[in-house]
Amino acid sequence: MSTCLLILSARVHAGQGEREDMRSDRNAIHQDRDALRHDRNELRNDLRHGDYEAAAHEQDEMNGRRQDLREERQDLRNDWLNHRAHEDQEPGLRPFHDHHDHDND
């Protein structure tokens, strides 16, 4: 009985960690989107005022943020797929099937 509780506790803890990781990825994505929006405004202002050096700097920052955003989206996608696959393999999360019967239901 205590072994079952330890296994269940470990699975719950792992599930919480997965959810926290996905939540962190979503937050990072939102922050990068906000930062990109801000960078676009700065880029427009720099171009409007003829400050091409500052505009180039903003463009470099935007390219880095876009790369970060792609990686964070991919990480979130991978976390989600792993979470779903893990959920499908967890006996405690699936309908009960008695594997000792022979009628294959």
pLDDT, one tens digit per residue, over 44-55 is 999 999 999 999
Q: Is position 4 within any domain? A: no
Q: Is position 77 within any domain? A: yes
Between 94 and 15, the more confident residue is 15
Q: What are the tens digits of pLDDT across the range 59-77?
A: 999 999 999 999 999 999 9
Interval 86-93 mean pLDDT: 56
On whether the CB atoms of residues 92 and 11 are closer than 8 A, the answer is yes
Q: Is position 56 within any domain? A: yes
Q: Is position 64 within any domain? A: yes
Between 14 and 23, the more confident residue is 23
Domain that holds residue 49: 20-81
Q: Is position 24 within any domain? A: yes
Q: What is the reported pTM?
A: 0.62
What CA–CA distance (Å, rounded) separates 98 from 103? 10
Residue 97, pLDDT above cutoff 90: no
The number of distinct structural domains making up the chain is 1
On whether the CB atoms of residues 75 and 27 are closer than 8 A, the answer is no
Q: Is position 71 within any domain? A: yes
Q: Is position 36 within any domain? A: yes
Q: Is position 41 within any domain? A: yes
